[in-house]
């Protein structure tokens, strides 16, 4: 199976190994990630202003490229996924917004036809966690791992439609499929403070440490996240618990990462 792939800026610069794990793991699971040619930054954050068109165009071009190929569009970064998914919803439901965008990308009009998956959804909904479990060669048996969802993976709930916003299970189910024991804790879907780090380092640190200390109190030996910014912020602000990206954990269980 081939899918269009939007890696995003961080996974092509400071986190190349995480991108590499995503590609190699997909191949093991029977999926080829075909990188969108000449993709650009997703915009970093989805602005709710209806007249803000320019920051949405790169996402629309990526979505339209996938449409032309007849493929779903997959992203690995939760921030990129959030922007792309919300932009796709706007193209489907906001006629004025779609009209303005299509004036830029004409003659190839786009109206939200592409199916958008986060890599986690690809694992759950397309490949299936049962099949993934069959491919595990180095099960993470005996390890207690806490999933950290953060802000962008699940919200806004009606648009992202990935999981229950207050009580998600997709990452815990992934952890079980890899052979480890998931640790559920109160701060797993609270903000880590990443987006306020420039304005208030102390507040960002406080929010980040609430997440990591809560996970540690519940017995977590490691924290796994799906957002490069969250991972960076949690590590930067200090934690005794290792923070890893989900593709890194996946690669370990599939025997790709030493």
- Per CATH, the number for 2-120 is 1.20.1050.140
pLDDT score of 179: 98
- Chain segment 124-148, per-residue pLDDT in tens: 999 999 999 999 999 999 999 999 9
Q: What is the location of CATH 1.20.1050.140 in the chain?
A: 2-120
| pLDDT score at 168 | 97
What pLDDT, on a 0 to 100 scale, did the predictor assign at position 199? 82
Q: CB of 172 within 8 A of CB of 134?
A: no
Give me the pLDDT at residue 121, please: 98
Residue 108's pLDDT is: 83
Q: What is the pLDDT of residue 200?
A: 86
Q: Please report the pLDDT score of residue 78 as a whole number.
A: 93
Does CATH number 3.40.50.1860 belong to domain 136-253? Answer: yes
Task: Name 224's bridge partners.
Answer: 147, 244
* CATH 3.40.50.1860, the chain: domain bounds: 136-253
The low-confidence residues of the chain, meaning pLDDT below 70, are: none
Write the CA distances from 109 to 64, 71, 85, 224, integer angstroms: 8, 17, 18, 39
* Per-residue pLDDT at 85: 97
**What pLDDT score does 21 carry?**
96
Q: What's the whole-model pTM score?
A: 0.95
What is the per-residue pLDDT for 190? 94
pLDDT of residue 113: 98
Q: Which stretches does DSSP call E strand in the chain?
A: 2-6, 32-35, 73-75, 116-118, 144-148, 181-183, 222-225, 243-245
Predicted local confidence at residue 215, as pLDDT? 98
pLDDT of residue 58: 94
Query: Which pLDDT belongs to residue 245?
Result: 95
């Amino acid at each position: 199976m081939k899918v269009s792939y939007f890696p995003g800026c961080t996974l092509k610069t400071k986190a190349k190994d995480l991108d590499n794990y995503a590609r190699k793991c997909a191949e093991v699971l029977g999926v080829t990630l075909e990188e969108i040619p000449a993709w650009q930054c997703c915009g970093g954050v989805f602005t709710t202003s209806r007249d803000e068109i320019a920051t949405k165009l790169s996402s629309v071009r990526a979505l339209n490229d996938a449409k032309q190929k007849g493929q779903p569009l997959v992203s690995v970064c939760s921030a990129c996924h959030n922007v792309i998914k919300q932009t796709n919803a706007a193209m489907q439901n906001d006629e004025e917004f779609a009209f303005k965008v299509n004036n830029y990308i004409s003659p190839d009009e786009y109206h939200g036809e592409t199916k958008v998956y986060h890599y986690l959804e690809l694992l759950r909904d397309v490949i299936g966690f049962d099949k993934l479990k069959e491919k595990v060669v180095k099960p993470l048996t005996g390890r207690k791992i806490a999933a950290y969802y953060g802000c962008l993976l699940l919200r806004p709930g009606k648009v992202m439609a990935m999981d229950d916003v207050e009580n998600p299970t997709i990452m815990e189910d992934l952890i079980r499929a890899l052979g480890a024991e998931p640790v559920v804790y109160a701060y797993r879907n609270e903000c880590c403070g990443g987006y306020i780090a420039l304005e208030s380092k102390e507040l960002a640190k406080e929010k980040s440490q609430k997440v990591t200390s809560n996970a540690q109190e519940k017995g977590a030996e490691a924290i796994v996240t799906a957002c490069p910014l969250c991972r960076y912020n949690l590590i930067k602000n200090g934690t005794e618990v290792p923070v890893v990206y989900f593709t890194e954990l996946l690669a370990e269980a599939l025997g790709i990462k030493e």
